[in-house]
Chains A and B, each alone.
Chain A
Amino acid sequence: MMTIEPEPPRERLRPRVLETDETGRLELSPMSASEQDLPSPRTRPSRSPFRVAATGVSILVLGLIGIDLVQFIDDAFAHGAGLGIAAAAAVAAGTGGAVYWLAAELRGLLRLRSAERLRSLIPFAMADELRTEIAAAATILARDPLLSEAVARYRAVREPHHSGRDALELFSRFVLAPADRLAEAAIRRAATQAFAINAVSPTALLDTLLFAARALRLVREIAEIYGQRPGLAGTVHLLRRLVSGAGMVGAVDLVGGALVQQLGGAVIERLSAGAAESAYAAQKMARLGIIAMALCRPVEFRPVEVPSLTGLVAGLLRRAPTERPDQSPRQQLG
């Protein structure tokens, strides 16, 4: 019969003072934080049939376009050297533009993925890892001129003795809080416009189209505020996540429902049906904005930080003195 010997418990380490050969006083003044490289995003190889097919079709299209362009240049040279050079230059410019656009798209997507990866890592990070993750999040936001000053202020106050929790708290105060305020201002603007769109739109179809366009703009604005600047691919990715965030929508719906109930008795009953619909449209836009904030933020909301839907909708008529409806967040900061 096999017996298992229990491992003897390790003795608790007692306090002690250890001599060193180091001499001299310590330099304890705050140090400036060094720029840390963003950890490269983890890329998962995908073998989905759709992706394989899409890659094949893309190669085919690119090949056809490439052959056509070569033939186009060849034909141009056949008509004369000058025409050939002009055609080659035009093709080079077009290709350069396309490559630039693709690179921008790719960069936006990678940035978005990096932020998402960080957001998933931070809640589970150990104290030491947390500092690294927060530094990476700061690097993402520092690339955006909108928040670079806030990030610089955050880095100026970080000290080596701060724990991971301290770093998170300072990051929230110095970087995320100003970004949240800008995002909330963007939501308020969008909600006001959603109210107006619903009120003046002659048909339901036009109302829907205008609402969708404004919602798309809001999502992009919010992503931009959090340093992500999504391109087309990034926007599609964000919208996909927005739609798939069913749980979050459900949670916010509950809040929305409560709000409508609250308002129902006091205000909505006194308004016409049309105005009530407009108020609901504004609330939907605000709700969408909060979800977009939650998706784009490099660090998840802590319970006390989640913007209140009631506050956002109720504050539509109240505007902070510095907030101007005709300016984007970037303009306001500048």
Chain B
Amino acid sequence: MRMLEKLPTLRALAGDRTLRIAVTGLSRSGKTAFITSLVQNLLSAVGRPARLPFLRAAAERRLLGARLLAPEADDLPPFPLDNTVAALAADPPHWPASTTDLRRVRLSLRFSTAGFLRVGLLRGTAQLTVEILDYPGEWLLDLPLLQQSYGDWSRAMLALARRGVRAPLARDWLDFLARHPADRADNSDTASRAHALYRDFLAACRDREQLSLLQPGRFLNPGQIVDISLLQFCPMPLAIGARVQPGTFAALMEERFEDYKRAIVQPFFAQLARNVDRQIVLVDVLRALNAGEEAFADQRLALDTILSAFRFGRRSLLRRLFGARIDRVLFAATKADHVPALQRDHLEALMANLVEAPTLRARAARARVAAAALASIRCTEDGTDVIDGRKVDVVVGLPEGGERRVRFFPGIVPVTPPPAGFWGERFTEFPIFQPPRITGAESDGIPHINLDKALDFLLEDALT
């Protein structure tokens, strides 16, 4: 049985080239837009290589064919490419709906080999299957729970809830917990009420304060969970080293926490992390930057927390047999079309500085790491304006649902995490620009910024 399970891996070693890319990103970081643009642009790159000039295989006209693969029999539901493309092709075009469940898209690329393979017996064409998973970003936040006990997690979450902008939002929930001590006899109704208050607190943190580290992620986006009682828990105040007595309120919560990990988080992690070769981490840095110091710090903490769950390392045959590791990681600041060209380098540098700790960890494991600023779907063009007597670079776009174009000045993007003096009033009126209208034909592609650079980093060696 074990050998049978290893068969796909052995087949891969023998030459079936499949590259699994984990598209990682918090909620609203642009994963669905990224996957749509990636697939559509790769499909179009055969006929229009100019769409992806930084992707070497396309620029060198070595991409001979690209097609979507039908879902496998026991497969996950397919990524709804038709729907996402239809949203962009509508009149007026609109953004595709966010993902609510785990989906997979598989793409087959046929290309002519480059380099020394061009000569000799091995000269010819090759096939690469690119497999990408899409899922709600919130779910990623659950991965670190696998390594935590209920007590540790509860203490961490309560400490967080009592600090900064979270404290006023958590008041109702914390008051409820104060009235219902952990050692009281268990009661499902009380647990449901505590869960509802905790979930409302998380939603307020996300919507009002743009915070990111909100666990468990399924509380905000449950997906298709059959047994909803698995979600009916929340952190409880437990002393360090204290044992939870059976039959108490805390014991009920702990039991549900462990069930949640076993039935929900573990299978998701198995799908996501199994045989992942490459990872792209999408981060909406700009929104967090403008949402204030705490939102920015929270996003950084959330990223560190999520990335601690992934294993990095150089690829090798042995590692493929005994569990794949991620050998290339790209940290990408999304929505680069919200800053003018001159500031995109700043955005890229800021992104690199934000993920310094995971970068060091990945590099120590000899994985390749890069940072980029990209816009999967470009909605603006650059322009200039005068603000307070100063000529500034802006971006121009049509707001979604609007009729008049607006000029957006995103502020000065710092190249390093900003010092205390940087933060002023929060800016939450971030414009949502209408996406460009596309024809929907596979041959047309989607306008973007630096998507090709990201693809080149992720696929370059596989397309050689």
B-contacting residues of A (Cβ < 8 Å)? 12-26, 28-30, 127-128, 156-157, 160-163, 165-166, 169-170, 173-174, 321
- B449 an interface residue at 8 Å Cβ cutoff? yes
Among the 9-residue stretches B3-11, B185-193, B226-234, B430-438, the one with 4 or more Cβ atoms under 8 Å from chain A is: B430-438
Interface-centre pick from A13, A24, A170, A173 (highest chain B CB count, 10 A): A13
Query: Is B405 within 8 A of A161, CB to CB?
Result: no
Query: Is A22 within 8 A of B381, CB to CB?
Result: no
Q: Which of B50, B380, B407, B409 contacts A26 (CB 8 A)?
A: B380
23 A-B Cβ contacts within 8 A? A13-B388, A13-B392, A13-B409, A13-B411, A15-B409, A17-B406, A18-B406, A18-B407, A18-B409, A19-B404, A19-B406, A20-B407, A21-B404, A23-B404, A24-B398, A24-B405, A25-B437, A26-B405, A28-B378, A29-B447, A157-B50, A163-B344, A321-B119
Interface 1/0s, chain B 107-132, versus A by CB < 8 A? 00000000000010000000000000
Measured between alpha carbons, how far is A162 from B50 in the docked complex, in Å? 13
- Residues of the A chain whose Cβ atoms lie less than 8 Å from the Cβ of B407: 17-18, 20
Query: Is A161 within 8 A of B449, CB to CB?
Result: yes
- Residues of the A chain whose Cβ atoms lie less than 8 Å from the Cβ of B408: 15-18
- B279 an interface residue at 8 Å Cβ cutoff? no
Closest B residue to A156 by beta carbon equals B50
Q: Which of A13, A26, A127, A170 contacts B342 (CB 8 A)?
A: A127
- Residues of the B chain whose Cβ atoms lie less than 8 Å from the Cβ of A169: 54
What 4 A-B pairs are tightest by C-beta distance, nearest first?
A157-B53, A15-B411, A18-B407, A28-B447
Whole-angstrom distance between the Cβ of B128 and the nearest chain A Cβ: 21
Q: Which of B51, B396, B409 contacts A16 (CB 8 A)?
A: B409
- Residues of the B chain whose Cβ atoms lie less than 8 Å from the Cβ of A157: 49-50, 53, 59
Closest B residue to A165 by beta carbon equals B345
- Residues of the B chain whose Cβ atoms lie less than 8 Å from the Cβ of A165: 345
Measured between alpha carbons, how far is A25 from B390 in the docked complex, in Å? 27
Whole-angstrom distance between the Cβ of B93 and the nearest chain A Cβ: 8
Q: Which of B341, B397, B422, B434 contacts A163 (CB 8 A)?
A: B341
Whole-angstrom distance between the Cβ of A132 and the nearest chain B Cβ: 14
Q: Given A161-B381, A170-B54, decide whether A26 and B398 contact each other with a Cβ distance below 8 A.
A: yes
Query: Is A23 within 8 A of B403, CB to CB?
Result: yes
- Residues of the A chain whose Cβ atoms lie less than 8 Å from the Cβ of B378: 28, 161
Measured between alpha carbons, how far is A162 from B452 in the docked complex, in Å? 12
Whole-angstrom distance between the Cβ of B121 and the nearest chain A Cβ: 13
Measured between alpha carbons, how far is A15 from B390 in the docked complex, in Å? 14
Measured between alpha carbons, how far is A165 from B427 in the docked complex, in Å? 30
Whole-angstrom distance between the Cβ of B350 and the nearest chain A Cβ: 15
- B394 an interface residue at 8 Å Cβ cutoff? yes
Query: Is B406 within 8 A of A20, CB to CB?
Result: yes
Q: Which of A15, A25, A174 contacts B427 (CB 8 A)?
A: A15
Whole-angstrom distance between the Cβ of B334 and the nearest chain A Cβ: 15
Measured between alpha carbons, how far is A30 from B452 in the docked complex, in Å? 14
- Residues of the B chain whose Cβ atoms lie less than 8 Å from the Cβ of A14: 411, 424-425, 427
- Residues of the B chain whose Cβ atoms lie less than 8 Å from the Cβ of A128: 342
- Residues of the A chain whose Cβ atoms lie less than 8 Å from the Cβ of B317: none
Closest A residue to B119 by beta carbon equals A321
Whole-angstrom distance between the Cβ of A135 and the nearest chain B Cβ: 15
Query: Is B398 within 8 A of A25, CB to CB?
Result: yes
Whole-angstrom distance between the Cβ of B413 and the nearest chain A Cβ: 10
Interface 1/0s, chain B 181-212, versus A by CB < 8 A? 00000000000000000000000000000000
- Residues of the B chain whose Cβ atoms lie less than 8 Å from the Cβ of A174: 53, 59
Interface-centre pick from A24, A161, A169 (highest chain B CB count, 10 A): A161
Q: Given A17-B407, A17-B408, A18-B409, decide whether A26 and B385 contact each other with a Cβ distance below 8 A.
A: no
Q: Which parts of B69-111 form the interface with A (CB within 8 Å)?
A: 92
Query: Is B119 within 8 A of A12, CB to CB?
Result: no
Whole-angstrom distance between the Cβ of A18 and the nearest chain B Cβ: 4
